[in-house]
Chain A
Amino acid sequence: MNWESWQAFWAMGGYGLYVWGSFGMTALCVVAEVWLVRRRRVQVWQKLRRMQAWDAQ
């Protein structure tokens, strides 16, 4: 085990800002990308359904 306490874990031996800045930004990018892909899916789905309803009329 590398860490004696949670505090030591978050401090990262003084490199906390850099390590968590990197991992944080990565997590943010992944979450944002997944969210964007899903939102796009929903938007396209709604748009196509509207268009189809329009065509049917």
Chain B
Amino acid sequence: MNLYRYASPATFHPLAGRLVPWFAGLAAVLAAVGLYIGFFVAPTDFQQGEGYRIIFIHVPAAWMSMFIYVVMAFWSAIGLAFNTRLSFILARALAPTGAMFTFVALWTGAFWGKPMWGAWWVWDARLTSELILLFLYVGVMALQAAIDDPRRADRAGALLNLVGVINVPIIYFSVKWWNTLHQGASVSLTRAPSMAETMLWGMLVMALAAWMYTIAVALARARTLVLERERRTDWARALLEGKA
């Protein structure tokens, strides 16, 4: 199999077009199953009552927010090393979805924290790191938006992304350190409720749904970016002629 064939924009554009509905469909089915498990199969938690059900989006969103940043860094590194345009486009297409999941993780963290800790926001190590992760996403997107030349925007964004990914573990460690030193001033998250097996399954299925959703949206976004950049090539011209 020749991987480079799929990296060519002329092949990628129709291929992504065919894949998007499949991934979107998978995401919808998995989300339906996950929500069913989350609301109807998983039992009430003996400590947190029904409030714990937020876990079924909070944890998958938090996982995805970190995972997407790392995947972006992977594509950025590939792009910088092999000079492949499509890798930069994929990295760029992932950023808004990653930021969206980071925001969702923060929002649901707040809505979970209010009934459990009595406050919308506490400077818990995980919430604080997530907030800084959101800033990192915003930085990459702002930098790419500010540069008009796509070639430079790709590379600059990729470099910042790589610096960010080196920093994420350092930031997490420093925030954790800071949090333990100031224990008196803040409430730290009690351990997650002892996990019933069905809860774990619900979370895993929801995380898979989020993953499929991310692929679908990122491919759709990448398709538009490819078309925009390749508008002067023969295949793009033919495509644009064709559809009324």
Residues of chain A having any CB pair with chain B under 8 Å: 1-3, 9, 12-15, 18-19, 21-23, 25-26, 29-30, 33-34, 37-38, 40-41, 44-45, 48-49, 51-52
Tell me the complex Cα distance, A26–B59, Å: 13
Cβ-defined contact, A1 with B40, below 8 A? yes
**A23's closest neighbor in chain B, by CB?**
B57
B217 and A33 form a contact (CB under 8 A): yes
Beta-carbon contacts under 8 Å, B82-111 to A: 96-97, 100, 103-104, 107-108, 111
CB distance from A39 to the nearest CB of B (A): 10
- In the assembled complex, the CB of A18 is this many whole angstroms from the nearest CB of chain B, namely 5
Interface size range of chain B in the complex = 35 or more
Query: How distant is the Cα of A34 from the Cα of B40 in the complex, in angstroms?
Result: 27
Q: Is the CB of A14 within 8 A of B49?
A: yes
Closest-by-CB residue of B relative to A41 is: B224
Contact A18 B40, beta carbon cutoff 8 Å: no
Residue of B nearest to A47 (CB): B228
Residue in B97, B104, B220, B224 with the greatest tally of chain A CB atoms within 10 Å: B224
- B231: interface (CB < 8 Å): yes
Are B240 and A40 in contact, with the CB atoms below 8 A?
A: no
Which residues of the other chain, A, contact B49 by a CB distance below 8 angstroms?
13-15
Please encode chain B, from 26 to 50, with 1 for each CB lying within 8 Å of some chain A CB and 0 for all others. Answer: 0000000000000110111000011
Let me know if B217 and A26 touch, CB within 8 A.
Answer: no
Q: Shortest distance in angstroms between B35's beta carbon and chain A's nearest beta carbon?
A: 8
Say whether A48 contacts B217, CB under 8 Å.
no
The 4 closest A-B pairs by CB, nearest first: A15-B51, A13-B50, A22-B108, A12-B50
Contact A41 B112 (CB under 8 A): no
